[in-house]
Amino acid sequence: MNENLDFLDFLAASPSAPHAAREVERRLDFQALDATAAWELSPGGYVLRQGGAIIAFWIPEEVDSTSGFRIIGAHTDSPGFVLKPQPERRGAGWPQAGVEVYGGPILRSWFDRELCLAGEVVLADGSSTLVRTEPVLRIPNLAIHLDRAPEVNRQTHVQPILTVEETSVMEVVAQAAEVAPEDIFGHWLMLADAQPGRLSGDLLAAGRLDNLTSVYAGLRALQGAVASGEESQDIWVLAAFDHEEVGSASTRGAAGPLLGSVLERIADSCGLSTAPMFARSTMVSADAAHAVHPNYPEKHDSEHHPLLNHGPVTKINANQRYASNPATVAMWRRCCAAAGVPTQVFAGNNAVPCGSTIGPISATRLGIDTVDVGVPLLSMHSAREVCGAQDMVWFREALEAYLINS
């Protein structure tokens, strides 16, 4: 199997966070858990999916008082645009879809693209279904002749037009869901670029690389660790959260109770105390990193220039925007050495604001030592980002080594 082509298939199946979570569940084929029921866990694989969040874990044959958790954390959501509750609009005769900016997308990168709506709808009977429409939306640019210095207004300039006449937004959604419009009682739908990802030489270009690069690498690492038969006494966990791009403060985000609750229930089922288990645990917060831009090298620190296809990046910040500490950085370096994977380091330019991840949030909530790592990207938060094809392979290998060897 060509790993990067398989990643493109994963991206194609994951136009929204709920789609990505479902695709992880489908590929793992672990036993599905019900959060409202009692859990009686035995050795093997389990998965809990809630909307755009999913937690999968593998319990080894031998669990004892020395066991902890080895956690790969990531997030399924990407910046973009969410359909508003009352989305029907008209502008100068055009039918439009009313959208809200989600997170921090590079707005102009979304213009003049074939767009669809993807996500989840809740029906009158309380059931839900995943939906992806045809690419019938578009945010058109204004001709340069009419505005020589265009600026994007986040309210008035980003509302997409429908490219089909005599219909409405919700009729398009209902048709994709194969229900009547009046049967849709709620929805979470995002614009998604319909252009498929592409592997071009050593580079891979696609939407949603932040942060489906990490979700996919974590998924493949867990599959590889299970298939290897080299079980440790630790429990392996893949936690892919939603809503990271807007601060993680939700029931399905890293700031919510989801991961802590699942880990506590696992510990209880294994007859172990939670606090000592957490103290024996570690977490790899896997999220995309900033590659140095050849046209803007001054935005990086002069001694920290991550490059594409030079290995995964360890992210360090003295102000705790990343959760890496000397012990976890050393742990990650050992994992990469065991896998034969090169590594890079990112530390920010003091004059340039620094991003953050789920790492500090989960580490603060749970008290689990964490390292922040990821594959380097160009055009992060664009509708179409770029990563290194070899970096994706190396990242999966390093994460697998973390589960097996750390």
- Residue pLDDT, tens place only, 264-315: 999 999 999 999 999 999 999 999 999 999 999 999 999 999 999 999 999 9
- What is the domain range of residue 127? 80-193
Neighbours of 79 (CB within 10 A): 22
User: Are 56 and 46 a contacting pair, CB within 8 Å?
Assistant: yes
- Residue 165 pLDDT greater than 90, yes or no: no
Q: What is the DSSP letter of 140?
A: P
Residue 198 lies in a domain: no
Q: Is the per-residue pLDDT at 354 higher than 90?
A: no
What per-residue confidence (pLDDT) applies to 269? 94
Is residue 131 domain-shared with residue 220, that is, in the same domain?
no
* % of the chain at pLDDT higher than 90: 95
- Does position 1 have pLDDT exceeding 80, yes or no? no
Q: Which of 18-27, 158-167, 193-202 has the lowest mean pLDDT?
A: 158-167
Q: Are residues 216 and 307 in the same domain?
A: yes
For the domain that residue 148 is a member of, what is the CATH number?
2.30.250.10
Helices (H), 45-112: none
Say yes or no: 304 and 246 in one domain: yes
User: Per-residue pLDDT averaged across 121-144, rounded?
Assistant: 97
Return the pLDDT at 406.
58
* Residue 224 lies inside a defined structural domain of this protein: yes
Can you say how many angstroms the Cα of residue 38 is from the centroid of all Cα atoms in its chain?
A: 29
pLDDT score of 156 more than 70:
yes
Asked if the model's pLDDT at residue 177 lies above 80, the reply is yes
- Would 199 be classed as within a structural domain? no
User: Is 155 contained in some domain?
Assistant: yes
Q: How far is CA 304 from the centre of its chain?
A: 25
Final residue in a domain of this structure, among 193, 223, 244: 193
Q: Are residues 124 and 258 in the same domain?
A: no
Residue 317 is classified by DSSP as -
Return d(Cα 34, Cα 30) in angstroms, integer: 13
Residues 9 and 147 in one domain: no
Q: Are residues 25 and 138 in the same domain?
A: no
Please give the tally of structural domains in the chain: 2
Beta pairing class for 369-374 and 344-346: unpaired
pLDDT the model gives residue 164: 87
Q: Do 74 and 87 sit in the same domain of this protein?
A: no
Closest by CA to 164, choosing from 190, 204, 134, is 134
Is position 10 within any domain?
yes
Q: Quick check: is 314 in a domain?
A: yes
296 and 350, same domain (yes or no) = yes
- Residue 41 sits in a domain whose CATH number is 3.40.630.10
* Structural domain contains residue 200: no
- Whether 282 and 308 share a structural domain: yes
Model confidence at 231: pLDDT above 80: no
Name the domain boundary from 164, 193, 222. 193
Cα(349)–Cα(296) distance, integer angstroms: 12
Measured between alpha carbons, how far is residue 143 from residues 91, 146, 149, 150 in Å? 17, 6, 11, 9
